[in-house]
Amino acid sequence: MKADPATQLRLLDVQAIDSSLDRLAARRRNLPEHAEIDKLDAQLAALNDDLVRVSTQLRDLGRSQQKLETEVDLVRSRAARDRERLDSGRITNARELENLQAEIASLARRQGVLEDELLELMETAEGLEARAGVIRADQERVDAERATSVASRDAALAEIDNEVAARRAEREAIAPALPADLVALYERLRASSAGVGAARLVRRRCEGCHLELSGGDLREVAAAPVDAVVRCEECRRILVRTAESGL
Ligand SMILES: [Zn+2]
The pLDDT tens digits of the residues spanning 40-87 come to 999 999 999 999 999 999 999 999 999 999 999 999 999 999 999 999
CA of 21 to the centre of ligand 1 (A): 22
Alpha carbon of 196 to ligand 1 centroid (Å): 10
Residue 205 CA to ligand 1 center (angstroms) comes to 8
Kindly give the distance from the C-alpha atom of residue 222 to the centroid of ligand 1, in angstroms, as a whole number. 16
Q: What separation in Å is there between the alpha carbon of 23 and the centre of ligand 1?
A: 21
Q: Which residues neighbour 81 within 8 Å (Cβ) at sequence distance 6 or greater?
A: none
Distance of CA 240 from the midpoint of ligand 1 (Å)? 11
Residue 247 has pLDDT above 90, yes or no: no
pLDDT of 27 strictly over 90: yes
For the stretch 228-245, pLDDT in tens is 999 999 999 999 999 999
Query: What's the average model confidence in pLDDT over 89-108?
Result: 94
d(CA 208, ligand 1 centre) in Å? 5
Q: Which pLDDT does position 246 carry in this prediction?
A: 86
Q: What is the whole-number distance in angstroms between the Cα of residue 210 and the centre of ligand 1?
A: 6
Closest CA to 8 of 217, 200, 172: 200
Distance CA 33, CA 134 (A): 26
Distance CA 178, CA 4 (A): 10
Type of residue found at 204? R
Q: How far, CA to CA in Å, does 194 sit from each of 178, 187, 209?
A: 22, 11, 10
Among 192, 188, 211, smallest CA distance to 201 is for 211
Q: Is the pLDDT of residue 182 over 90?
A: yes
